[in-house]
Structure 1
Amino acid sequence: MQSIQHSNYSNIYHLLYKNEKLSKQDIADSLDLSLPTVSSNLQKLLDRGLIIKNGQLKSTIGRRATAYSIEPNVSLSLGVEIFRNYSTVTILNLRHEVLAVHTVNLPFSNDLHYSQSLSQQLLILIQNKGYKSEQFIGVGIGIQGLISNDGTTILYGKILDSTGMKASNFSQFLPFPVTFFHDADCVAVAENAYHAMDGIFMSIGEHLGTAIIINGSILKSPSGRDGTMEHITLDSVNGRVCYCGRKGCIETYCSLSSLLKPNETLSSFFTELQHSKTEIVDRFHKYLKLLAESIYNLHMFVDIPIVIAGQLTKYMNVETMNVIKKYLKDYSVFPEDEEYLRLGHVVDHAVAIGAAIPGIEARIEEI
């Protein structure tokens, strides 16, 4: 009997989570429950602060029914993206709404002093925004590197020299748990939360990262190397030298580092592109051609949608996507009945947003 009661309680909450607002009758009809059962469980959810009364629903006859919604801010999650010279922090509520974005100007260092300093900045941010530490589920940290499947250890982090760093370095200074995530996985999770779909996600930023979502979940391997397709090679003999030590990795052709010159920013590059500066136009089309070749190689690996995501997304448009699709058509050796290339939607802070989402999903699952 107890399990049935908990099931009704959970089912009602999850139904409300999937909808903006519902009446008692809506809930009763959707879950095939009696109104007294619905009323009893709604009161429990109200008492625990998990839902709120949210106005009234429109009605053409009789009294307007009270509307119920989840309380999205009862639990919050922190997401952090660590860069070499600073970190970006986001605060998300249960609806994945971004309540705050903050930059911490703290150079990265793989030591306890850095972990303590960043942790202190997170606590200061929480206080300054008027939240309580007890509201927070935890913090997810997105970082460039291979991560253990339990999210406790950076197994390999050559770019930031973060190999061996432990999540416990941070959690000992915080009143909630800390979990590491591969930055490309975070981007895929953020995109999937915005628009659910399976696919290969190419996170294009300073470096290229890749992740695969199958059946709604990140594809994981025991080694942590589930998303390192950026080290597939186009030219392993005469290609560009990659930070991994090999030549010709698609990282060296598809990352923003491969597109931009030193001291050149993405915004300045696309400003020049809009002015049709010849050198910029030629460089961009060469980049798009190499990007298309890399995309086609991934397409040959597994025939699922491929999503261009990350920082580049903000500057892509229909015209640019059509150029890539034309190159893909030229590369194609098989008939293609459907377009498989997609453009991501999360244009800002995708890593920090995606790092916060797993904690939210785990919290929702617990209810």
Structure 2
Amino acid sequence: MSDTLSPKAAKLHNRTLITTYLYEHKEATKQVLERELGISLPTITQNLRNLEAEHIIELGELQDSTGGRKAQSYRFAAKHRVAIGVALRSNSVCLCAVDLYGDTVQERTHAMSYTNTPMYYQRVGTLINEFAATVAKGGSTVLGVAFSVQGIVSADGTSITFGTLMHNTGLTLETISQSVHYPCIMIHDSDASAMAELWFDPTIRDAVCVYLERRPGGAVIVNGKLYQGPNQCNGAIEHMVLVPNGRQCYCGQRGCMDTYCSLETLPEEGESVPGFFSVLEQGEPHHRERMHTWMEFIAQTIVNARSVIAGDVVIGGEAAQYLDDSDIAALKSRVQQLTPFSTDTFSLHKSRCADTNSIVGAALRYIEAYVDSICTDAE
């Protein structure tokens, strides 16, 4: 292929091939690169020297000898660039530094009550800058900071167009990032979680993601990509009406999914969510009845969503840690019973991501862009 390219393009193509191979395989020797990529050894040597000088790769382990000198391996330096994800929650600020494989390098949580004030964002900026400085001491360069927010973000990513829950509708990225020393973006937390799903499970094609949190949410994946729609509201299943004229929702409507599928609807007065599930495990009848009703509402939510996007279903959020395989199987069975199409087949499984998936998913916006820049030919 390189014979048909200009010298400049061929040089870039060879560099990209080597970088991509090391990124995908994590480690390789010159001999392996020569065999797998069909590039001459001198060209490989020069590219490895350049990539090492730029800290994109680093020396790996010496390989076992087959009779001669041990071969030196080279590995992709996953931590030479990181991105920071930030979640501004009602009572805390959560930060997570993510490397180029999407692995968490460092994380930190600060207790802090949310207030939509300049002083709050200044304090958040200080926390982020201090956290970034700590990460940088390990030799990483911070690509940027991504805010995972509980609200719908405008199509251009500059403001929150629906922030009723946090009382910050109209909040701008400029305000939220006023004291941060790095490039910043913001993304709806459910969309960020879906991005993490795709990163860690690239086999997902079409799916509805259901995040069962204190404030539930959702996201839509179509053809292997997050599909947000022109108004960025796709997947907002929390405001799907399940019970006409039902319970009052914070959005102003009545009977929304949020008011029936929130984790906060499970505990009795004075009981915590972990406390509810602890008692549930003991088989207490009233708790079992509440859990059954809650699962029925979730099943109906999934059926309603899949009537529009008939894909697989990913169950995530805080509730996922309490749901075992039998719960997931029972939920799928109930969805199948409620589905009018007998031939409908789909997967329903728990999220493969960690509790910090929305924070990690937000940071992956920077990671994905950077990896594409070094693993894709471009002039």
Q: CA deviation at 1:244?
A: 1.2
Match of 1:297 in 2: 304
Match of 1:139 in 2: 145
Q: How do 1:143-292 and structure 2 match up within 5 A?
A: 143-196=149-202, 197-198=204-205, 199-237=207-245, 239-261=246-268, 263-292=270-299
Q: What letter matches 1:168 in structure 2?
A: E
Q: In the aligned structure 1, how far is the partner of 2:68 from the partner of 2:276?
A: 61
Q: Does 1:332 align with 2:329?
A: no
Q: How do 1:341-356 and structure 2 match up within 5 A?
A: 341-356=348-363
Q: What letter matches 1:110 in structure 2?
A: N
Asked if the contact 2:149/2:188 (under 8 Å) is kept, the reply is yes
Q: In the aligned structure 2, how far is the partner of 1:20 from the partner of 1:133?
A: 19
SS in 1 for 2:297: helix
Count of matched residue pairs: 366
Q: 1:193 to 1:44 in 2, by over 3 A?
A: same
Q: In the aligned structure 2, how far is the partner of 1:349 from the partner of 1:264?
A: 25
Q: In the aligned structure 2, how far is the partner of 1:360 from the partner of 1:87?
A: 21
Deviates more, 1:331-340 or 1:209-218: 331-340
Q: CA deviation at 1:261?
A: 4.0
Q: Report Cα offsets for 1:35-64 as digits up to 9, x if no partner.
A: 222222111100101101110345656544
Match of 1:22 in 2: 28
Asked if the contact 2:189/2:358 (under 8 Å) is kept, the reply is yes
SS in 1 for 2:232: coil
- How high is the TM-score relative to the length of structure 2? 0.90
Q: CA deviation at 1:180?
A: 0.7
Q: CA deviation at 1:263?
A: 4.7
Q: Does 1:13 align with 2:5?
A: no
Q: Report Cα offsets for 1:126-184 as digits up to 9, x if no partner.
A: 34456379711111111111102332211110000111112222433222111111010
SS in 2 for 1:102: strand
Q: In the aligned structure 2, how far is the partner of 1:342 from the partner of 1:100?
A: 28
Q: In the aligned structure 2, how far is the partner of 1:263 from the partner of 1:194?
A: 38
Deviates more, 1:60-69 or 1:243-252: 60-69
Asked if the contact 2:153/2:161 (under 8 Å) is kept, the reply is yes
Match of 2:4 in 1: none
SS in 2 for 1:162: coil
Asked if the contact 1:133/1:175 (under 8 Å) is kept, the reply is no
Q: CA deviation at 1:352?
A: 1.4
SS in 1 for 2:91: coil
Asked if the contact 2:146/2:187 (under 8 Å) is kept, the reply is yes
Q: In the aligned structure 1, how far is the partner of 2:217 from the partner of 2:308?
A: 16
Q: Which runs of 5+ in 2 are unaligned?
A: 1-6, 375-379
Q: CA deviation at 1:257?
A: 2.5
Q: In the aligned structure 1, how far is the partner of 2:269 from the partner of 2:34?
A: 61
Moved over 6 A (4+): none
Q: In the aligned structure 2, how far is the partner of 1:214 from the partner of 1:339?
A: 14
Q: What letter matches 1:70 in structure 2?
A: F
- How high is the TM-score relative to the length of structure 1? 0.93
Which of residues 308, 317, 320 in structure 2 aligns to 1:313? 320
What RMSD in Å do the two structures reach over aligned CA positions?
2.0
Q: Report Cα offsets for 1:295-346 as digits up to 9, x if no partner.
A: 1111211111110011111111111112112212321221235333121122
SS in 2 for 1:16: helix
Q: In the aligned structure 2, how far is the partner of 1:30 from the partner of 1:38?
A: 12
SS in 2 for 1:3: helix
Deviates more, 1:355-364 or 1:105-114: 105-114
